[in-house]
Amino acid sequence: MSEFDSALKIFAQESEQLLLDMEGALLSLESDPDDSEMINSLFRAMHTIKGSSGLFGFNPIVAFTHEAESVLDKVRNNERAIDGELISVMLDSKDHTARLIEHCLSSPDQPLPDELTVASDALIKRLTGKQHTHIQAQATDTSQVHSEGGGNISIDDSWLISLDFRDNAFRNGMDPLSFIRYLKTLGEIKQILTFFPEMPHGEVMDPESCYLHFKIAFTSDASKQTIESVFEYAADDCDIKILPPNSKVNAYLQLLDSLDENHVSRLGEMLIQVGALTEHDVEHALKDQSDAQQDTAKPLGEILVEQQMVQKPVVEHALKKQEQTKQKVAAENSYIRVDADKLGHLINLVGELVISSAAMNLIVERHGLTDAGDVAASMNSLVSSIRDTALELRMVQIGETFSRFRRVVRDVSNELGKEIDLQISGGETELDKTVVEKINDPLMHLIRNSLDHGIESPAQRLAVGKPAQGIVQLNAYHESGHIVIQIADDGAGLDSDKIVEKAIANGIIKADHSLTQQEIYNLIFAAGLSTKAQATNLSGRGVGMDVVKKNIEALRGSVMIDSIPGEGTTISIQLPLTLAIIDGFMVGTEQVRYIIPLSMVDECIEMDSTESEINEIEHFINLRGHALPYLRLGEYFNTPKSNVVKKHESVVVVKFGQDRAGFVVDELHGEHQTVIKPLGKMFEKLKGITGATVLGDGNVALILDVQGLIEAAIGKRKRKPALLH
């Protein structure tokens, strides 16, 4: 038994059951006509049979059940009352449907015998209560046109052309007859129906207006394009619908199947390509679509079927093909989900590879192997691209993290009774997944702070002439090897007097401080400082900001705050793109090597007393007119002095945010791919060092905490004069 046969069997069983249910429902409706559930089940029975008959191409069943369904739909919508008469018609309709199904199952290829056709028409008449015009039937049953005499002509091979002339056709010199006569030159007109439902009677009728409508069954080998061109000149004065013959449907389906994947594009284009539609059809349907209201606009396919431009199966097939192709294309650039641990392991291995490759370079250099040098160089560049690619694998967009805060902002602003709009930008900025995970909590805290302390209440805002709705902006962007995340609000800004007052009260600073505005703002990151008079459950307990700062610094990042009183506060978090491997700049002093993250190195200058003014007491260099505090790394880390006489010293100028400082070193070793190895627990709190790395020769180099060292350099310079007093 083929699949089709077994499907037919299921259809037969299903229909039988449905009709049985229908009978039961009808009988119970007789005693209780208001039982809506019964009416629904009647409707479903007809609807389901119509649907499945359509699948098998049993058009007579479709046409008949469609009528019954329409009537039941009216009953369901209380547009028509259910009475004894309707119930008996429905019972007859149920029996008739059973006969139609029997006929279609036993001899699907035979046309409907006359007695069944007559019975269909008679029942439809009883159902609808009016003369059946056959026009309605055409909408669903395109396989048959009933001629006036009641005989059937199979028009399966016919094009169905419907011409609806407009009023002005005659006035524009359009004679419907000449087009129809011209049409005959392309093929044979099997059947033509003329009707004029809008034509008024007697004196009201305007003899210059055209009221004519035609439905033409036409057989021809011509393409849809050619047939359409017959009516080219009438296009302005006539609605033309050309439905390809059912026999063409299969040809279209085959053509659709054979469409090259590269040609699978938009639905309209596909259907034009196989010839099921003309460009004019598509243009027309697209216009209808765009004319429709936004919320009522239908998909193009639905419009095309509704306007009878093409059969439903063709559209469905085209859509299926489109979907398949889409899936295929989607599968081609799909994602693979990978265990994060595996990725971490890979990155560790790549780190080791980087170290080994550095070791190999060193050996090649040491032994002066020129031929091996070339190989080493090419391997070096390969290793660095492997490193970059491996790191990229872990890069994720920050957008997802950002969008999570929408909910937070919504909830918190409700809680606080404030109106706050969260504006997100730069969501596509990528950074290492481990960084993203760890930045979530600090960000949450900072945003809550902005919501609570930053944005004022609507009343306060209105009082100072700001819109009631406050804005919190979340932005991310890349800047010289770092990612910067900004949280900006348009609130009241920080109150520096209050901060100073509080800081003095808590003993964080002395009363005679000489802090800049910037430094005062940054005091809010000090432990035990909260300017909010009353602590809410959101923030204001003075713990948090220092934790935020610590967390960010643990990521080798930094946080800065800027504020304009009355206009708002901006908090900028600067983070490294990745935690695993960095491009470093290696320097050495007193036999010890240090790595400075390359992105923080500004320039290197000679520590030459003749060119730069060096103030050894106050520890600053006059660098092109600016005072640059400096630090001798050897002194700072207390490394034992060697007895070798130094030829010259160099200054590496580093910057971190707004601050700059110089590190005085003996040797400059240049760029170095640095695999960061975290320091053990014991050394975690060491000042000035954030990590270590293994060099190619097996020695260890220390990775400098540039931010801490800059602070130390600036601090040293400040303290010195005080000591002199």
Partner 1 sequence: MAKTIMIVDDSASIRQVVTIALKGAGYDVIEAVDGKDALSKLTGQKINLIITDVNMPIMDGITFVQEAKKLAAYKFTPMMMLTTESADDKKQAGKAAGAKAWLTKPFQAPTLLDAVSKLVLP
Which residues contact partner 1 (rule: CB under 8 A)? 170-175, 178-179, 181-182, 185, 208, 230, 232-234, 236-237
Nearest to 223 by CA among 255, 261, 259, 192: 255
Q: Quote the least distance from Cβ 275 to partner 1, whole Å.
A: 21
Q: Are 189 and 217 in contact (CB under 8 A)?
A: yes
Query: Closer CB to partner 1, residue 208 or residue 339?
Result: 208
Query: Closer CB to partner 1, residue 229 or residue 425?
Result: 229
Query: Closer CB to partner 1, residue 114 or residue 236?
Result: 236
Q: Quote the least distance from Cβ 172 to partner 1, whole Å.
A: 5
Query: Closer CB to partner 1, residue 225 or residue 397?
Result: 225
Neighbours of 396 (CB within 10 A): 16
Q: DSSP of 398-454, one letter per residue?
A: THHHHHHHHHHHHHHHHHHT-EEEEEEE-TT-EEEHHHHHHHHHHHHHHHHHIIIII
Q: Quote the least distance from Cβ 269 to partner 1, whole Å.
A: 22
Query: Closer CB to partner 1, residue 229 or residue 307?
Result: 229
Say which residues have a Cβ less than 8 Å from residue 195's Cβ, sequence separation at least 6.
135, 213, 215
Coil, strand or helix at 70? helix
Alpha-carbon dihedral sign for residues 410, 416, 420, 422: negative
Q: Quote the least distance from Cβ 211 to partner 1, whole Å.
A: 15
Q: How far apart are CA 336 and CA 112, in angstroms?
A: 57
Q: How far apart are CA 337 and CA 342, in angstroms?
A: 11
Query: Which residue do the tokens 């949280």 mark?
Result: 487
The DSSP element (H or E) to which 718 belongs, if any, is helix 706-724
Q: Quote the least distance from Cβ 56 to partner 1, whole Å.
A: 41
Q: How far apart are CA 603 and CA 653, in angstroms?
A: 5
Query: Closer CB to partner 1, residue 56 or residue 233?
Result: 233
Rg of the chain over CA atoms, in angstroms?
A: 42
Alpha-carbon dihedral sign for residues 220, 226, 227, 231: negative
Q: How far apart are CA 331 and CA 619, in angstroms?
A: 62
Query: Closer CB to partner 1, residue 186 or residue 471?
Result: 186
* Burial (CB count <10 Å: 0-12, 13-18, 19+), residue 378: exposed
Query: Closer CB to partner 1, residue 83 or residue 175?
Result: 175
Q: How far apart are CA 401 and CA 475, in angstroms?
A: 12
Q: Could you tell me the two tokens for 275? A: 């010839």
Query: Closer CB to partner 1, residue 178 or residue 609?
Result: 178
Q: Quote the least distance from Cβ 181 to partner 1, whole Å.
A: 5
Print the SS3 string covering 261-321.
HHHCCCHHHHHHHCCCCCHHHHHHHHHHHHHCCCCCCCCHHHHHHHCCCCCHHHHHHHHHH
Residue 636 Cα distances to 11, 667, 713, angstroms: 89, 16, 10
Q: Quote the least distance from Cβ 170 to partner 1, whole Å.
A: 6
Query: Closer CB to partner 1, residue 232 or residue 635?
Result: 232
Q: Quote the least distance from Cβ 299 to partner 1, whole Å.
A: 29
Nearest to 679 by CA among 704, 696, 648: 704
Phi, psi of 263 (to 5 degrees): -95, -5
Phi, psi of 97 (to 5 degrees): -60, -40
Query: Closer CB to partner 1, residue 175 or residue 257?
Result: 175
Neighbours of 75 (CB within 10 A): 21
Q: How far apart are CA 48 and CA 58, in angstroms?
A: 13
Q: Quote the least distance from Cβ 163 to partner 1, whole Å.
A: 13
Q: Quote the least distance from Cβ 308 to partner 1, whole Å.
A: 23
Which residues make beta-bridge pairs with 701?
693
Q: Quote the least distance from Cβ 196 to partner 1, whole Å.
A: 18
Print the SS3 string covering 284-296.
HHHHHHHHCCCCC
Q: What is the DSSP letter of 677?
A: B
Query: Closer CB to partner 1, residue 175 or residue 671?
Result: 175
Query: Closer CB to partner 1, residue 209 or residue 440?
Result: 209
Q: Could you tell me the two tokens for 454? A: 């930053």
Q: Quote the least distance from Cβ 229 to partner 1, whole Å.
A: 9
Q: Quote the least distance from Cβ 95 to partner 1, whole Å.
A: 51
Q: Quote the least distance from Cβ 174 to partner 1, whole Å.
A: 6
Q: Which residue type sits at 425?
A: S
Query: Closer CB to partner 1, residue 181 or residue 404?
Result: 181
Q: Quote the least distance from Cβ 276 to partner 1, whole Å.
A: 24
Q: Are 446 and 487 in contact (CB under 8 A)?
A: yes
Q: Are 396 and 433 in contact (CB under 8 A)?
A: yes
Residue 499 Cα distances to 465, 491, 549, angstroms: 25, 17, 17
Q: Quote the least distance from Cβ 182 to partner 1, whole Å.
A: 5
Coil, strand or helix at 153? strand
Q: How far apart are CA 687 and CA 221, in angstroms?
A: 89
Query: Closer CB to partner 1, residue 62 or residue 163?
Result: 163
Q: Quote the least distance from Cβ 205 to partner 1, whole Å.
A: 17
Q: Quote the least distance from Cβ 207 to partner 1, whole Å.
A: 11
Query: Closer CB to partner 1, residue 166 or residue 532?
Result: 166
Query: Closer CB to partner 1, residue 171 or residue 550?
Result: 171
Neighbours of 344 (CB within 10 A): 14
Q: How far apart are CA 126 and CA 23, in angstroms?
A: 18
Query: Closer CB to partner 1, residue 99 or residue 287?
Result: 287
Could you tell me whether strands 592-597 and 700-704 are parallel, antiparallel, or unpaired per DSSP bridges? Answer: parallel
Rounded to a whole number, what is the distance in angstroms from the first to the last CA of the chain? Answer: 108
Neighbours of 261 (CB within 10 A): 10
